[in-house]
Amino acid sequence: MSWVSNNLEATVGLAGLAASVVGYLAALWLKRKRISYRVHLDTPVGVTPAHGGEIEVEWRYQGEVVKDPSFALVRIMNTGSQEIREDDFREPLTLEFGGRRVVDAKVIEADDTLMRIVARDKAWPPVGDTELVLPKVPLNRKNRIKVLVLLTGKAEKKSSVACVGFLSGGKIVRDTTTGNGPSKRSLVLGGTAMLLVGASLALLISSPWSSRPTSCAAGEVKITGSSAFDPVAKDIVDTYLKQCEPASVTMQGRGSLDGLRELDNLARNDPAQREARIVMSDGPASRNYHNLTPHPVGVVAFSIVVNKATGRHALTADQVKAIFSGGVTNWNQVGGPDLPISVVSRGGGSGTRLAFEEKVLGRPEPGLSSNDCVRRDRDPAAKVTRCEYDSTAAQLDEVDRLPGAIGYAEVSATTKYTNLNRIKLDDRDPDLDSVIKRGYPFWAVEYLYTYGPPQNGRLVDSLLEYMNSDAAKNILRRAGYVPCVDGPQDLMGTLCR
């Protein structure tokens, strides 16, 4: 033990070397959640040999002319060691064709679940789009899907077919294996292992090593605001505190608007509070708070949710507006069972509620009419039975418990509830892929607010800097957020403006 204590750098280096070797071997045998795709066919349709313009060929499909036709055949397979569930797809599998447009597509191999979904979805495939979104379905180990697609237009580059998406706890990779030699994946793993080995050896001869962030700072800070973002922020702060022991951070999520009001009032009257407070906000603060400085963190999608007893999986925006205004009071009026509707909302200090009012309802929610979400005991003359909760968790607990209930929340917060249905709004899924590609309206940017710019080197400044670290971004992704600044995917000029 004395050698270890006297040779800390060497000990760490040896441990890193061992971990690198073990990690490389484990990666070869344990792939966890992994989807691989292989492009079996990507070829233009034409006349061979070419006739130099002597023969004019016109290709038609279902009576329509197809210009520059081509076929793509893609195999998608669960090649990992774990079953993939529907909830594991944070963003659905999407085939991209390098600018070519879909004329028609057919799933030629899949399990019965996907075949049934495709058969009854009259809007699939999305003809004319430059991509093909596949329905979210579970994939057991070794399960595979084959999709044949007829395309029109010229590809932007060779080998332009790709499969993208976001798999929670796993990855989507292109299958480039051939019959001879190692696969590209094996070569990448081997190269990565060698880099890790080299880094570990460097540690053996390096200067004293430290795992602390370069900007650790002492002090005390209180973070308040959004109850929806509170669990995610707590995970990030806990990771920071494990490496920055002198710091002390307390968390209290109780609503975005309440937090912003408190920060503005306290910091104006007590300058010491300006370096002791951070507020989490679902969406931008009002222009009235001109002293507050925004720090965008990530984009989050929200979902309307209903109790499973309603039998509903989709609603139109007009139906949602009618429910919240009291024009529809029973689920049988929108295709559900004979069941009274109970609206379970957030309190007036909620940023989630503000996003819902601005982006879905287009007006403020009606007044509070119920204490128990069942009887209109607060306002018997009200058109709608409506109750409120101060936190996301309390609201979702009530919707999960009460047949006939409807509410709304951040998508990732709803996944642990077994008695909820997330609602497709105007046939658009409640996820970030729909936000970016299909105009799904119910989303927000998560901000951290300070009173003016933070002072360099203080704890508030250090915490905000840590929010842009790889560790923080990984936590954001696992929680269903897309970081505002993330390498080539920079949303600062678009969604995070």
Three-state DSSP class for 226? coil
- CA–CA dist 408, 415 (Å, integer): 13
Give the DSSP H/E element, type plus range, for residue 297.
strand 292-307
In a domain, 209, yes or no: no
CATH number, domain with residue 114: 2.60.40
Residue 45 has pLDDT above 90, yes or no: no
| Per-residue model confidence (pLDDT) at position 187 | 54
pLDDT tens per residue, range 172-187: 888 877 544 455 555 5
Burial class of residue 55 (count of CB atoms within 10 Å of its CB; 0-12, 13-18, 19+):
exposed
Spatial CB neighbours of 264, under 8 Å, sequence gap ≥ 6? 289, 291, 292, 451
Clarify whether residues 251 and 278 are in a common domain: yes
**DSSP-derived pairing of the beta strands 292-307 and 443-451:** antiparallel
| Per-residue model confidence (pLDDT) at position 169 | 78
Give the DSSP H/E element, type plus range, for residue 248.
strand 247-253
Residue 38 has pLDDT above 80, yes or no: yes
| Per-residue model confidence (pLDDT) at position 202 | 47
**DSSP-derived pairing of the beta strands 144-152 and 101-109:** antiparallel
Clarify whether residues 22 and 41 are in a common domain: no
Residue burial 359-377, b: 16+ Cβ < 10 Å; e: rest: bbbeeebbeebbeebeebe
CATH number, domain with residue 473: 3.40.190.290
Clarify whether residues 346 and 456 are in a common domain: yes
From 108, 140, 168, the end of a domain falls on: 168
Residue 5 has pLDDT above 50, yes or no: no
Residue 11 has pLDDT above 70, yes or no: no
Give the DSSP H/E element, type plus range, for residue 315.
strand 314-315
| Per-residue model confidence (pLDDT) at position 41 | 86
Radius of gyration for the chain, computed over Cα atoms and rounded to the nearest angstrom:
27
- CA–CA dist 148, 106 (Å, integer): 5
CA atoms in the 13 A half-sphere facing the CB of 297: 31
Residue 1 has pLDDT above 80, yes or no: no
Residues constituting the chain: 497
| Per-residue model confidence (pLDDT) at position 113 | 72
In a domain, 90, yes or no: yes
In a domain, 174, yes or no: no
- CA–CA dist 226, 237 (Å, integer): 15
Residue 28 has pLDDT above 60, yes or no: no
Question: What percent of the chain stands above pLDDT 90?
Answer: 53
- CA–CA dist 58, 281 (Å, integer): 57
Tokens (6 digits) for 142: 């070794």
Clarify whether residues 311 and 453 are in a common domain: yes
Give the CA dihedral 92, 96, 101, 107, nearest 10 degrees.
Answer: -60
Of the candidates 312, 316, 341, the residue with the CA atom closest to the CA atom of residue 327: 341
- CA–CA dist 265, 253 (Å, integer): 18
Residue 209 has pLDDT above 60, yes or no: no
In a domain, 299, yes or no: yes
Clarify whether residues 17 and 81 are in a common domain: no
Clarify whether residues 240 and 353 are in a common domain: yes
| Per-residue model confidence (pLDDT) at position 47 | 56
**DSSP-derived pairing of the beta strands 405-410 and 342-346:** parallel
Q: By mean pLDDT, which of 42-51, 102-111, 183-192, 279-288 is the weakest?
A: 183-192
- Give, rounded to a whole angstrom, the gap between the first and last alpha carbons of the chain: 54
In a domain, 344, yes or no: yes
Give the CA dihedral 469, 475, 478, 484, nearest 10 degrees.
Answer: -40
Average pLDDT over residues 72-79: 91
Clarify whether residues 359 and 242 are in a common domain: yes
Q: By mean pLDDT, which of 110-124, 265-279, 343-357 is the weakest?
A: 110-124
Average pLDDT over residues 92-99: 89
CA distances from 54 to 22, 47, 451 (A): 64, 12, 74
CA angle 76, 164, 64 (to 5 degrees): 80
Cβ contact 391:254 at 8 Å: yes
**Ramachandran bin of 435, using left for φ above 0, alpha for ψ from -120 to 50, beta for the remaining angles:** alpha
- CA–CA dist 229, 410 (Å, integer): 9
| 40 CB neighbour count, 10 Å cutoff | 12
| 6 CB neighbour count, 10 Å cutoff | 9
Cβ contact 168:150 at 8 Å: no
In a domain, 240, yes or no: yes
CA atoms in the 13 A half-sphere facing the CB of 410: 28
Residue written as token pair 């409640």: 430
In a domain, 176, yes or no: no
Q: By mean pLDDT, which of 109-113, 211-215, 411-415, 441-445 is the weakest?
A: 211-215
Give the total number of structural domains in the chain.
3
**DSSP-derived pairing of the beta strands 420-422 and 60-61:** unpaired
Residue 62 has pLDDT above 80, yes or no: no
| Per-residue model confidence (pLDDT) at position 440 | 94
pLDDT tens per residue, range 358-405: 999 999 999 999 999 999 999 999 999 999 999 999 999 999 999 999
Burial class of residue 409 (count of CB atoms within 10 Å of its CB; 0-12, 13-18, 19+):
buried
CA angle 389, 393, 399 (to 5 degrees): 70
Average pLDDT over residues 293-308: 95
Tokens (6 digits) for 122: 């009259």
Clarify whether residues 234 and 328 are in a common domain: yes
Range of the domain at 138: 33-49+56-168
Clarify whether residues 333 and 427 are in a common domain: yes
Average pLDDT over residues 207-229: 75
Clarify whether residues 152 and 61 are in a common domain: yes
Clarify whether residues 460 and 406 are in a common domain: yes
Q: Helices (DSSP H) in 163-275: which residue ranges?
A: 184-204, 230-243, 256-269
Clarify whether residues 25 and 73 are in a common domain: no
pLDDT tens per residue, range 76-87: 999 888 888 888
In a domain, 74, yes or no: yes
